[in-house]
Structure 1
Amino acid sequence: MPKVTVRYWAAAKAAAGIAEEPCDAVTLAEALAAVRERHPGELPRVLRRCSFLVDGDPVGTRPHETVRLAEGGTVEVLPPFAGG
């Protein structure tokens, strides 16, 4: 099973209480399920509004079950940002 780093930004970082953490997961869906379980408070609600980058590539509207993760990869969790 690939080991990846999940990095949290802005509100996701505040909700998780950490900037990043390791995770073992084959797909983005598995990684998100794991972090929801580790951080059951505010993070699951924040994740519903987030967008994700996997190894620098936007996930967009692809189903998270279809987004495969690679050993040593990175999942960036990006909440909506205010523009200006």
Structure 2
Amino acid sequence: MAAGTIRYWAAAKSAAGVAEERYEAASLAEALDAARERHPGELVRVLERCSFLVDGDPVGTRGHETVRLAEGGTVEVLPPFAGG
């Protein structure tokens, strides 16, 4: 299990009510499940539309359970952005 930081942006930040928080999880799936438990409601819906960066690398279409998290790492939660 690794400890790190989840950073929420735009609509995800609004839904979570915080800009960032700590995680303790082995995979992205575990970290997101814990975030859903801490912030039930709107964040659950927002996360369905988000993309994610783990330590600066896009997760893309990989299964979240296969994305391992590193000690001291960062998960960026990026909702769809409007505009250009």
Q: What is the alpha-carbon distance in structure 1 between the residues aligned to residue 38 and residue 13 of structure 2? A: 14
Aligned equivalent of 1:78:
78
Instruction: List runs of 5+ in structure 1 lacking aligned partners.
Output: none
Deviation at 1:11, TM superposition (A): 0.1
Aligned equivalent of 1:27:
27
Q: What is the alpha-carbon distance in structure 1 between the residues aligned to residue 5 and residue 50 of structure 2? A: 17
Deviation >3 Å, runs of 4+: none
TM-score, with length taken from structure 2: 0.98
Instruction: List runs of 5+ in structure 2 lacking aligned partners.
Output: none
Deviation at 1:41, TM superposition (A): 1.6
Aligned equivalent of 1:2:
2
Q: What is the alpha-carbon distance in structure 1 between the residues aligned to residue 24 and residue 55 of structure 2? A: 15
CA RMSD of aligned residues (A): 0.5
Secondary structure at 1:3 match in 2:
strand
**% of aligned pairs identical?**
81
Q: What is the alpha-carbon distance in structure 1 between the residues aligned to residue 5 and residue 44 of structure 2? A: 18
Q: What is the alpha-carbon distance in structure 1 between the residues aligned to residue 57 and residue 2 of structure 2? A: 18
Q: What is the alpha-carbon distance in structure 1 between the residues aligned to residue 65 and residue 41 of structure 2? A: 23
Q: What is the alpha-carbon distance in structure 1 between the residues aligned to residue 32 and residue 4 of structure 2? A: 12
Q: Number of residue pairs matched?
A: 84
Deviation at 1:23, TM superposition (A): 0.7
